[in-house]
């Protein structure tokens, strides 16, 4: 599929397209190579012609998409949605072998002087990401060429020059590969700004993806991948105890955690409650996620049962999940997802600060009740639960404070036992 680019003789943008109806509007679908976007869409995404039919542009969001495109050869991006005045579009149907006009396939034609009527109402961050990425790759090529010229101007390090030339080839190949790939475009015969804004709102309502679905489907994330194996191998999180359809677990559910919550907790075990994973480390774990699985099973099947009798009871094969887990949830905070993740963060913090032997931390926790009827429990004193409340506080500040409180007091408890010869 090709685009007829502007010349002195050709006065219209033309491209093969599929015509169809949606919501009583005529719609055209086609694709543009990434390098061809500027031949149709406004040069800058923040111009009034685009902004008036869009939400406020968030540069960080565009940067995330740009980074995704730069680092994933198997990238996927959805269609850009645009609107245009109906009198600015002409559709020339293709003819079949018998000379009859095809009602749905033909050539879309827009006069060049009407392209400024285009309104991008969904996809501005994708558009900006593509534009900035291609421009950035061009700049990278120029920078590498200057570096090569500088290195070869006099006495130079041949190895360094070889590295620069390799980087130049890779950058150029990346740009050329991206430029030859395409984005789908869906163009609505609608030029009214108010209508386009309503269409944007409608499109946003219909495409949210639940966190549990993202976690289940994206096995490129090593923690999502590991969560499947923990679910299969762990006695505590055995199949049937992990919710696979919902983002959270209902109070009456026989499940312990949602799949996405389990994946997040596994990340907490390795990197802390709000720990960040570098791209290099993430790639290492993607290649070998066994350390995550091993840590998750150690935490779930050894540490938690030692820390609290509730988890110990769950390892009993006689436990009836359907009846007992909902009842436990009414009586204790131990099965709350936030509490489980806090215990995961304490497990991580202890291993980082003290050592891999987490038995003293487990013994400290075992000495305290997790029941929600205890007014001055460890969780209340830590600030994770307000006295009389039926659920923990989920705000970052309180959670981090609670983790520090538990670790600090667990270390004091261990030190006293050591001094007393225990």
SS (H, E, C) 118-164: CEEEECHHHHHHHHHHHHHHHHHHHHHHHHHHHHHCCCCCHHHHHHH
Position 29 in a domain: yes
**Domain count within the chain:** 2
Question: Residue 381 pLDDT > 70, yes or no?
Answer: yes
Is residue 266 situated within a structural domain?
Answer: yes
Listed residue (186, 187, 185, 183) closest to 33, CA to CA: 183
Instruction: For residue 142, tell me if it sits in a domain.
Output: no
168-172 long-range contacts (CB < 8 A, ≥24 apart) are 168/141, 168/144, 171/137, 171/140, 171/141, 171/144, 172/141
Domain assignment present for residue 148? The answer is no
Asked whether the predicted pLDDT for residue 1 surpasses 60, the reply is: no
Q: What is the pLDDT of residue 102?
A: 93
235 plus 329 within the same structural domain: yes
- Residue 9 pLDDT > 60: no
Q: Is 114 helix (H, G, I), strand (E, B) or coil?
A: helix
Range of the domain at 111: 12-133+181-206
Domain co-membership, 189 together with 286 = no
Do 88 and 29 reside in the same domain of the chain?
Answer: yes
Q: Is the pLDDT of residue 5 over 60?
A: no
Number of neighbouring beta carbons within 10 Å of residue 290 = 11
Q: What's the average model confidence in pLDDT over 4-18? A: 72
Mean pLDDT of all residues belonging to the chain: 89
How many other C-beta atoms are found inside a 10 Å radius of the C-beta of residue 305? 20
Indicate if the pLDDT at residue 123 is higher than 50. yes
Residue 349 near residue 364, CB atoms below 8 Å: no
Q: Which of 17, 193, 36, 183 is nearest to 106 (CA)?
A: 17
| Position 220 confidence tier, pLDDT thresholds 50, 70, 90 | confident
Provide the 3-class DSSP secondary structure of residue 289.
Answer: coil
Residues 129 and 256 grouped into a single domain: no
pLDDT digits 0-9 by tens, 66-82: 999 998 899 999 999 99
Is 255 within a domain? Answer: yes
Beta-bridge mates of residue 33: 182
Residue 354 to residue 50: CA distance in whole angstroms: 55
Nearest to 145 by CA among 168, 169, 122, 116: 168
Query: Residue 45: its pLDDT value, please?
Result: 42
Report, as an integer, the average pLDDT of 73-99.
92
Mean pLDDT throughout 343-355? 96
Mean pLDDT computed over 200-223: 85
**Mean pLDDT in residue range 110-137:** 90
Task: Say if residue 257 is in the same domain as residue 383.
Answer: yes
Q: What is the DSSP letter of 333?
A: S
Region 310-319 average pLDDT: 92
Residue 398's CB: how many other CB atoms inside 10 A?
A: 17
Q: Note whether residue 170 is domain-resident.
A: no
For residue 260, what pLDDT band results from cuts at 50, 70 and 90? very high
Q: Which of 220-224, 287-291, 363-367, 418-422 has the lowest mean pLDDT?
A: 418-422
User: Do 327 and 270 fall into the same domain?
Assistant: yes
Split at pLDDT 50, 70, 90, the class of 172 is very high
Looking at residue 8, its pLDDT comes to 46
Confidence label for 160 from pLDDT (cuts 50, 70 and 90): confident
Model pLDDT for residues 25-58, shown as the tens digit of each residue: 999 999 999 988 866 775 444 444 444 556 677 8
Q: What is the average pLDDT across 4-26?
A: 80
Residue 198 and residue 266 share a domain: no
Range among 16-30, 197-211, 375-389 with highest mean pLDDT value: 16-30
Mean pLDDT score, 126-130: 92
Asked whether residue 238 falls in the same domain as residue 193, the answer is no
Q: Are residues 197 and 306 in the same domain?
A: no
Token pair belonging to 205: 């309502």
Does 3 have pLDDT greater than 60? no
Instruction: Examine the pLDDT at 214 and tell me if it is beyond 60.
Output: yes
pLDDT at 52: 55
* Residue-wise pLDDT tens digits, 393-412: 878 889 999 999 999 999 99
pLDDT in the model for residue 54: 61
Residue 401 lies in a domain: yes
57 in the same domain as 199: yes
pLDDT of 240 above 90? no
Q: DSSP H helical segments within 367-395, as ranges?
A: 378-382
Would residue 318 count as lying in a domain?
yes
Is residue 68 domain-shared with residue 121, that is, in the same domain?
A: yes
Please tell me the total number of residues recorded for the chain in this structure: 422
Helix ranges, 272-377 (H)? 279-287, 290-298, 304-307, 309-314, 321-331, 337-353, 359-366
pLDDT over 70 percentage in the chain: 92
Res. 170: pLDDT tops 60: yes
* pLDDT of 193: 85
pLDDT at position 267 = 96
Query: 231 and 113, same structural domain?
Result: no
- How far is it, in rounded angstroms, from Cα 249 to Cα 208? 19
- What local confidence, expressed as pLDDT, does residue 238 receive? 83
- Domain end among 145, 173, 206: 206
More confident residue, 160 or 404: 404
């Amino acid at each position: 599929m090709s685009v007829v680019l502007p010349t002195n003789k050709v006065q219209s943008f033309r491209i093969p397209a599929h015509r169809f109806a949606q919501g009583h509007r005529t719609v055209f679908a086609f694709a543009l190579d990434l390098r061809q976007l500027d031949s149709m869409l406004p040069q800058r995404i923040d111009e009034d012609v685009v902004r008036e039919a869009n939400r406020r542009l968030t540069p960080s969001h565009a940067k995330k998409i740009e980074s995704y495109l730069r680092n994933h050869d198997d990238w996927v991006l959805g269609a850009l949605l645009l609107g245009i005045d109906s009198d600015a579009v002409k559709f020339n149907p293709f003819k079949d072998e018998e000379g009859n006009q095809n009602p749905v396939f033909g050539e879309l034609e827009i006069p060049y002087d009407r392209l400024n009527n285009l309104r991008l109402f969904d996809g501005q961050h994708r558009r900006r990401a593509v534009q900035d990425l291609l421009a950035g790759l061009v700049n990278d090529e120029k920078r590498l060429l200057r570096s090569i010229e500088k290195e070869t101007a006099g006495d130079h390090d041949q190895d360094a020059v070889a590295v620069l030339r390799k980087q130049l080839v890779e950058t150029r190949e990346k740009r050329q590969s991206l430029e030859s790939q395409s984005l789908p475009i869906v163009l609505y015969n609608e030029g009214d700004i108010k209508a386009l804004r309503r269409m944007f709102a409608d499109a946003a309502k219909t495409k949210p993806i639940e966190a549990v679905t993202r976690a289940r489907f994206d096995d490129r994330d090593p923690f999502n991948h590991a969560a499947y194996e923990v679910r299969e191998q762990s006695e505590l999180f055995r199949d049937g105890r992990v919710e696979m359809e919902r983002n959270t677990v209902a109070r009456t559910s026989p499940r312990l955690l949602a799949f996405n919550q389990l994946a997040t907790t596994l990340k907490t075990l390795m990197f802390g409650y709000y720990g960040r994973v570098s791209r290099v480390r993430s790639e290492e774990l993607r290649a070998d996620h066994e350390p995550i699985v091993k840590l998750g099973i150690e935490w779930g099947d050894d540490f938690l049962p030692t820390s609290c009798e509730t988890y110990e009871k769950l390892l009993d094969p006689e436990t009836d999940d359907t009846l007992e887990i909902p009842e436990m949830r009414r009586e204790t905070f131990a099965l709350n997802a936030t509490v489980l993740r806090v215990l995961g963060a304490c497990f991580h913090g202890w291993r980082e600060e003290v050592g891999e032997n987490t038995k003293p931390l487990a013994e400290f926790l075992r000495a305290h009740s997790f029941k929600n009827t205890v007014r001055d429990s460890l969780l209340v004193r830590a600030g994770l639960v307000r006295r009389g409340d039926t659920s923990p506080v989920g705000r970052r500040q309180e959670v981090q404070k609670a983790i520090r409180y538990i670790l600090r007091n667990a270390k004091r408890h261990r030190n006293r036992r050591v001094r007393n010869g225990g």
